[in-house]
Amino acid sequence: MSLFAELTNSVNAVRPGRTTMRNYDLPLVVASTILVAMGMLMVYSASIALVDGPRYANFGRYYFVLRQGLFVAAGMFAATFALTVPVIAWQRYAFWIFGFAALLLLIVLIPGVGRKVNHAVRWLPLGPVNFQPSEMMKLAALLFAADYTIRKQDQMNSFMRGFMPMAVALAVVGALLLKEPDLGALMVIVAIAFGILFLGGINARIFSTLAAALLTLFSMVIWFSPWRRGRLFAYLDPWNPDNALSTAYQLSHSLMAIGRGSWLGVGLGSSVEKLHYLPEAHTDFIMAVIGEELGFAGVMLMIVLFAIVVQRCFEIGRQAIAMERVFGGLVAQGVGIWFGVQAFINIGVCLGLLPTKGLTLPLVSYGGSGIVMNLVALAIVMRVDYESRTLMRGGRA
């Protein structure tokens, strides 16, 4: 072997070729992009007929899809900013972000300040748009729970020291959300917080006891609230004429929409239920329109896309934790819990698997606060992934 060949082999053994690793997680980006694009398309399809009714008679046919486009643009701008913020900064300010979100939940309840829609006070009017603090609280609770789990890591086996402070914080948030009322957002926030505590190593006996206590508490909230109890009974028998024309009206029409869709759907834009039969077709029940127009294939596509997003969030979190970046790992997995639980509830309601609950479909349903917070959360996950990839290359996060 020539001297030149020996030197070349020696250099290659010490300094391998440049890595081809991307700076981002391709499946996460692709799945999220398709979900947002599908959301734009289906918001347009589900809302185009709303102007034919008296409630939106003064709105143009493209009103909702144009606003959704502006919301997505605002979300992309906020996500771009979030992507530049180091993960350590999110941890440093987690408590203050949580406190600010709780303050907004309190402000929205001040008479004359919050905007009331359908007997619920959940929005702060900000000129031409309305901001929903509960959407911000989902992200704030996620960051706070991840930071809390790390700070209390040595006390996770103690009920009083390891869990009670978090329980008090969640109780305050829960009281404010039930006052709006917004039980759906509370369920998602509690699922996020408890999921992160579980992943963070809380004592199994404490976790099981708390899970049972929460299930009992939610059952009591539903049972002692006549209209929530009515929703539950209507869910159990949606085709009863008394239910189908009142409490189960949305559920029955959602089931009819999905039934009409069959395997491949009736065709994009050809939904009948969106023609003022199915209320909130562009928000809470957008999956029913997808099921009618795109059929079983469309519903399964959405489920697969959400499964990819959740799986990639958990994998990014696992990789970060393996590299001893525990806060970032818990945040990434918390976002996976958030999207997974909320998508499961929304799709389950539309399919009649769960009682009716006012929750939007992440990244898809119409709404400014939701889409902006969803995109910011994904940007933070991508930042966690970027820092992990930088470390794997031998750089500094």
Neighbours of 274 (CB within 10 A): 26
Q: Indicate whether 188 pLDDT > 90.
A: yes
Mapped onto helix, strand or coil, the DSSP state of residue 117 is: strand
Q: Indicate whether 217 pLDDT > 50.
A: yes
Q: Sorting pLDDT into bands at 50, 70 and 90, what band is 238?
A: confident
Cα separation, 241 vs 250, whole angstroms: 13
Q: Sorting pLDDT into bands at 50, 70 and 90, what band is 235?
A: confident
Work out the angle at residue 97's Cα, subtended by the Cα atoms of residues 94 and 102, and round it to the nearest 5 degrees.
Answer: 125
Q: Indicate whether 159 pLDDT > 80.
A: no
Mapped onto helix, strand or coil, the DSSP state of residue 42 is: helix
Residues 365, 286 contacting (CB under 8 angstroms): yes
Q: What is the pLDDT of residues 268-308, one digit of tens each?
A: 999 999 998 999 899 999 999 999 999 999 999 999 999 99
Q: What is the pLDDT of residues 61-113, one digit of tens each?
A: 899 999 999 999 999 999 999 999 999 999 999 999 999 999 999 999 998 88
- 93: tokens are 């300010």
Closest CA to 138 of 381, 367, 397, 370: 370
Taking the mean position of all CA atoms in its chain, how far away is CA 91? 20
Q: What does each C-alpha distance from 232 to 86, 180, 240 come to in angstroms?
A: 44, 20, 13
Does the pTM surpass 0.85? The reply is: yes
Work out the angle at residue 152's Cα, subtended by the Cα atoms of residues 148 and 155, and round it to the nearest 5 degrees.
Answer: 150
Burial readout 331-366 (b: 16 or more C-beta within 10 A, e: otherwise):
bbbbbbbbbbbbbbbbbebbbbebbbbbbbbbbbbb
Cα separation, 100 vs 137, whole angstroms: 9
The DSSP annotation for 263-308 comes to TT-S-TT--STTTTTSTTTTTTTHHHHHHHHHHHHHHHHHHHHHHH
Lowest mean pLDDT among 208-217, 252-261, 278-287, 317-326: 208-217
Cα separation, 201 vs 384, whole angstroms: 21
Helix residue spans in 54-182 (DSSP H):
63-84, 87-92, 94-107, 133-151, 164-179
Q: Sorting pLDDT into bands at 50, 70 and 90, what band is 9?
A: low
Question: Hey, which residues does 123 pair with through a beta bridge?
Answer: 115
Mean pLDDT of all residues in the chain? 89
Q: So what's the pLDDT on residue 223?
A: 80
- 373: tokens are 């917070």
Cα separation, 196 vs 336, whole angstroms: 10
Cα separation, 289 vs 299, whole angstroms: 10
Cα separation, 197 vs 330, whole angstroms: 9
Q: Sorting pLDDT into bands at 50, 70 and 90, what band is 384?
A: very high
Cα separation, 160 vs 240, whole angstroms: 48
Q: Sorting pLDDT into bands at 50, 70 and 90, what band is 245?
A: confident
229-232-233-235 Cα dihedral, nearest 10 degrees: 160
Residues 368, 43 contacting (CB under 8 angstroms): no
Type of residue numbered 220? M
Q: So what's the pLDDT on residue 10?
A: 43
Q: Indicate whether 16 pLDDT > 50.
A: no
- 378: tokens are 């994904």
Q: Sorting pLDDT into bands at 50, 70 and 90, what band is 38?
A: very high
Cα separation, 143 vs 383, whole angstroms: 14
How much is the average pLDDT of 326-354? Answer: 96
Residues 6 or more apart whose Cβ sits within 8 Å of residue 276: 49, 50, 52, 53
Q: So what's the pLDDT on residue 13?
A: 45
Residue with more model confidence, 376 or 353: 376
Cα separation, 376 vs 362, whole angstroms: 12
Q: So what's the pLDDT on residue 14?
A: 42
Q: Indicate whether 2 pLDDT > 60.
A: no
